[in-house]
């Protein structure tokens, strides 16, 4: 059942990604002033959405683990954090490439950019923290608490363009998206494709974490039995 679900998700993601690429490079019109470079936006924003979702899942599974102590929550949390860091890296790479010709600089300490960079550091620290604690139970608890606290930066990133003076464009203002309808459609298709890709990567990574955990537990039992056999 699980295998079928994964195959189905992989197939749907593949179709969505192809549709996203078509919408980006063929369907969406070039922007009047920025030309084709503006097409980066579809990947930039879609990656940001997927990253925000990923860190929300780390937050939610952190709470789930602390409440229930079920390791499945922790497997999803570490998988989601890794995939979230990947998407945030994409955001931080595509942003400066887009900014250079538009703002005439690769990087500026704008509130949105700075808080996004901090977000990236937080989840890099989350992964480093996990790898630095040997005891399984302690690592899971500490990581869950870190994941819950770290999520506080996500709403700050989102509202940074309205709370402070920012040169970063605000896509949603006045309750609607300020874009050509064809561009909005292309963005939505890419958004769906990236969220599906997030789900697929997280699923694959989480199931790997689950079998690794199981293998580690069995290895301990084998060692214990070998120790017991010794005179």
Partner 1 sequence: MTNMQFLLLGTALVWVGIFLYVLSLIRRQNRTMETLNELRRMLEDDGE
Binding site for partner 1 (CB under 8 A): 17, 21, 24-25, 35-37, 39-40, 43, 90, 97, 197, 200-201, 204-205, 207-208, 211-212, 214-215, 218-219, 221-222, 225
Cβ proximity to partner 1, 134 vs 225, nearer residue: 225
Give the shortest CB-212-to-partner 1 separation in angstroms.
6
C-alpha to C-alpha distances, 123 to 25, 56, 71, 119, 210, nearest whole angstrom? 32, 12, 20, 7, 21
**Token digits of residue 103:** 């703002």
Give the shortest CB-198-to-partner 1 separation in angstroms.
11
* Contact criterion met (CB below 8 Å) for 95 and 47: no
Cβ proximity to partner 1, 164 vs 223, nearer residue: 223
Give the shortest CB-161-to-partner 1 separation in angstroms.
25
Cβ proximity to partner 1, 126 vs 203, nearer residue: 203
DSSP one-letter string for 181-225: HHHHHHHHHHHHHHHHHHHHHHHHHHHHHHHHHHHHHHHHHHHHH
Cβ proximity to partner 1, 87 vs 126, nearer residue: 87
Give the shortest CB-225-to-partner 1 separation in angstroms.
5
Cβ proximity to partner 1, 124 vs 148, nearer residue: 124
185 burial type by CB count under 10 A (0-12 exposed, 13-18 middle, 19+ buried): middle
Question: Could you give phi then psi for residue 96, rounded to 5 degrees?
Answer: -60, -35
* Contact criterion met (CB below 8 Å) for 133 and 139: yes
Residue whose structure tokens are 């920012």: 166
3-state SS assignment for residue 56: helix
Rounded-to-integer distance, Cα 191 and Cα 47, Å = 8
Rounded-to-integer distance, Cα 38 and Cα 24, Å = 10
Give the shortest CB-90-to-partner 1 separation in angstroms.
7
Cβ proximity to partner 1, 101 vs 155, nearer residue: 101
């Amino acid at each position: 059942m699980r295998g079928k679900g994964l195959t189905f998700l992989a197939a749907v993601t593949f179709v969505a990604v192809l549709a996203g690429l078509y919408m980006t490079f063929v369907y969406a019109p070039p922007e009047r002033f920025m030309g084709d470079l503006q097409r980066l936006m579809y990947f930039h924003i879609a990656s940001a959405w997927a990253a925000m979702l990923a860190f929300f899942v780390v937050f939610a599974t952190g709470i789930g683990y602390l409440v229930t102590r079920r390791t499945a929550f922790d497997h999803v949390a570490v998988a989601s954090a890794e995939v979230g860091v990947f998407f945030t890296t994409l955001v931080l790479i595509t942003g400066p490439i887009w900014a250079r010709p538009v703002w005439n600089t690769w990087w500026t300490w704008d509130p949105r950019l700075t808080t996004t960079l901090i977000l990236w550091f937080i989840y890099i620290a989350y992964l480093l923290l996990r790898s630095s604690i040997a005891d399984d139970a302690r690592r899971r608890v500490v990581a869950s608490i870190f994941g819950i606290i770290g999520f506080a930066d996500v709403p700050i990133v989102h509202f940074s363009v309205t709370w402070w003076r920012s040169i970063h464009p605000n896509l949603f203002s006045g309750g609607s998206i300020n874009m050509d309808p064809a561009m909005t459609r292309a963005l939505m298709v890419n958004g769906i494709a990236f969220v599906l890709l997030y789900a697929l990567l997280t699923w694959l990574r989480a199931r790997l974490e689950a079998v690794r955990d199981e293998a580690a537990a069995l290895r301990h039992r084998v060692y214990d039995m070998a120790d017991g056999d010794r005179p």
